[in-house]
């Protein structure tokens, strides 16, 4: 049993809730009830490392749930990617979940639930970032907000299943399985926090967005959420077992682990060594295979039977309402981060040579300034994020209501840097976290009032969708005939088939290896 404490920001009495693993005690603010760091799975350590998550052990008494749990092992977060509190530690025992519910609503009608999955290329991130604080959504929309941690990097998204041996098995997609386990916890427990388990909206950005679209094709996840929002998903980022096995072999080579000793050694390698090796592996694989992610879901024929991009194209994802979209210039952020995605001419040419050479000329023609820097940057962002998103929206619109957006708002700083609205810059608007480190950085030289106004409008749409399955009335559904797309900017608008020339140029491109 943890030590029960009062949250330093409030003297209001705390509140207890019974979960399937035991009672938890959070704290109350002026507007909300908050619980943090609740285990939703057993610690994935020892024999459970590289295994599917198991149910958490029951505890006696009332567990303190006032502090975030440990974040997953990763390179030490700094700046706007650091946890909101300096008290947050880093540890493999990281599978915890957080809940925020409106104050004074415990025994009234169950509320819609919003469950958020953070991004970070499956190698970084946590639910403890201040930009992900769901308090404003809860206060404004009378919803219950949930966030959670899941395993990252080699510990969560390296497929070692082909190296399973006597006495030790390695499961596939363990980080993705963590997410399903968290959703199962929501199904089994959220009613005690005032939420409606039959009215869950799953949303996420970047790797979190990939997770959303991928889970929409995972049989085990069917029925765990009623609608979905995918922000900047790289829908195609799930690969065949053969490629995943090659990635695993490179990783073992970096660790200097003999394949014959894999089951014996990997159980006792310190987590920090996995983090260091993961960084080396990313650099090696990105240069070798531009346009792909080093750590990602794998099509294992069981938990994830098929490529999510192909499932969406066929209109066969879980038939639930979906909001999906990207920022205006996804690639601009990555162009300043080295060769993370193909935003340079050599990497773009290598990408086409490895994938679909016949499409190269058609695509390049749609970017008249190529090989200029801006065009190269936009090709990289479009091939990873925008093009797969458009195709997913087109396919899913055959099966369920689908709403497409593009986030174009760029405060003065981003315009001065010639980046525009780039990857992840919509997060403060979605969450309303205008005092977060990310929002303050974006509005250093102006734009805060415009961001606040835009945030109000975006939250209206996100909350309307969570409450009733549709955004506000001024956002028409996406259909292949009109391709109506909501453009979020200083003044919002709807455009039909934006960037049609690019869309037609990319049609049929296969980024599969």
Residues 189 and 200 sit within 8 Å (Cβ to Cβ)? no
The Cα-based distances of 435 to 23, 84, 131, 414, 452 in angstroms read 33, 12, 8, 18, 10
Nearest to 152 by CA among 184, 170, 174: 174
Nearest to 209 by CA among 466, 472, 388, 382: 388
329-356 burial, b if ≥16 CB within 10 A, otherwise e?
Answer: bbbbbbbeeebbbbbbeebbbbbbeebb
Nearest to 64 by CA among 25, 112, 18: 25
DSSP line for 221-245: GTTS-SEEEEES--TT--B-HHHHH
Active site residue 6: no
- By DSSP bridging, strand 111-117 and strand 144-148 are parallel
Active site residue 206: yes
Q: What is the 3-state secondary structure (H, E, C) of 388-424?
A: HHHHHHHHHCCCCCEEEEEECCCCHHHHHCCCCCCCC
- Percentages of the chain per state (helix, strand, coil), in multiples of 5: 40, 15, 45
The Cα-based distances of 243 to 122, 125, 273, 285 in angstroms read 17, 25, 23, 11
Catalytic residue among 139, 423, 426, 455: 423
Using DSSP's 3-state secondary structure scheme, residue 207 falls into: helix
Catalytic residue among 206, 211, 296, 397: 206
Quote the CA–CA distance of 449 and 333 in Å, as a whole number: 23
Active site residue 423: yes
Q: How far is CA 167 from the centre of its chain?
A: 34
- Residue 309 tokens, joined: 């991009």
Q: Which residues pair with 102 in a beta bridge?
A: 32
Catalytic residue among 14, 330, 391, 394: 330
Using DSSP's 3-state secondary structure scheme, residue 196 falls into: strand
- Residue positions annotated with a catalytic role: 206, 330, 423
């Amino acid at each position: 049993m943890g030590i029960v404490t009062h949250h330093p920001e409030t003297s209001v009495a705390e509140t207890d809730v019974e979960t399937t693993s035991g009672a938890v005690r959070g704290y109350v603010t002026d507007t909300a009830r908050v619980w943090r760091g609740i285990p939703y799975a057993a610690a994935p350590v020892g024999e459970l490392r590289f295994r599917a998550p198991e149910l958490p052990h029951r505890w006696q008494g009332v567990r303190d749930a006032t502090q975030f749990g440990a974040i997953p092992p990763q390179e030490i977060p700094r700046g706007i990617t650091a946890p909101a509190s300096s008290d947050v530690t880093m540890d493999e025992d990281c599978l915890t979940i957080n809940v925020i519910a409106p104050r004074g609503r415990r025994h009234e009608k169950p509320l819609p639930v919003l469950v958020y999955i953070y991004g970070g290329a499956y190698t970084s991130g946590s639910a403890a970032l201040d930009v992900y604080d769901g308090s404003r959504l809860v206060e404004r929309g009378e919803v219950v907000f949930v966030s959670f941690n899941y395993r990252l990097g080699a510990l969560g998204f390296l497929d070692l299943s082909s190296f399973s041996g006597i006495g030790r098995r390695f499961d596939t997609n363990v980080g993705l399985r963590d997410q399903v386990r968290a959703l199962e916890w929501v199904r089994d427990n959220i009613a005690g926090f005032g939420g409606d388990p039959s009215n869950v909206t799953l949303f996420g950005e970047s790797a979190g967005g990939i997770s959303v679209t991928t889970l929409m094709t995972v049989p085990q996840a069917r029925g765990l959420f009623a609608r979905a929002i995918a922000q900047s998903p790289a829908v195609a980022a799930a690969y065949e077992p053969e490629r995943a096995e090659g990635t695993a072999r490179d990783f073992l080579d970096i660790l200097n682990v003999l394949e014959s000793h894999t089951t014996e050694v990997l159980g006792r390698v310190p987590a920090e060594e996995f983090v260091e090796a993961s960084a080396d592996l990313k650099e090696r694989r990105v240069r070798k295979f531009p346009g792909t992610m080093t750590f990602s879901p794998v099509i294992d024929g069981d938990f994830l039977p098929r490529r999510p991009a192909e499932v969406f194209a066929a209109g066969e994802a879980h038939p639930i309402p979906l909001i999906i979209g990207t920022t205006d210039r996804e690639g601009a952020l990555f162009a300043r981060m080295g060769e993370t995605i193909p935003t340079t001419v050599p990497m773009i040419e290598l990408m086409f040579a490895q994938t679909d050479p016949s499409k190269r000329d058609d695509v390049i023609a749609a970017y008249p300034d190529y090989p200029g820097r801006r065009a190269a940057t936009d090709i990289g962002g479009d091939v990873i994020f925008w093009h797969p998103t458009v195709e997913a929206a087109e396919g899913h619109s055959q099966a369920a209501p689908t709403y497409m957006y593009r986030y174009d708002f760029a405060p003065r700083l981003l315009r001065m840097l010639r980046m525009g609205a780039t990857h992840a810059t919509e997060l403060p608007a979605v969450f309303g976290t205008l005092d977060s480190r990310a929002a303050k950085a974006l509005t250093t030289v102006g734009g805060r009032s415009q961001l606040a106004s835009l945030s109000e409008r975006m939250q209206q749409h996100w909350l309307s969708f969570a409450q009733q399955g549709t955004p506000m009335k001024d956002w028409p559904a996406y259909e292949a005939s009109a391709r109506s797309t909501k453009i979020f900017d200083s003044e919002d608008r709807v455009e039909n088939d934006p960037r049609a020339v690019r869309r037609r140029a990319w049609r049929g491109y296969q980024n599969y290896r």
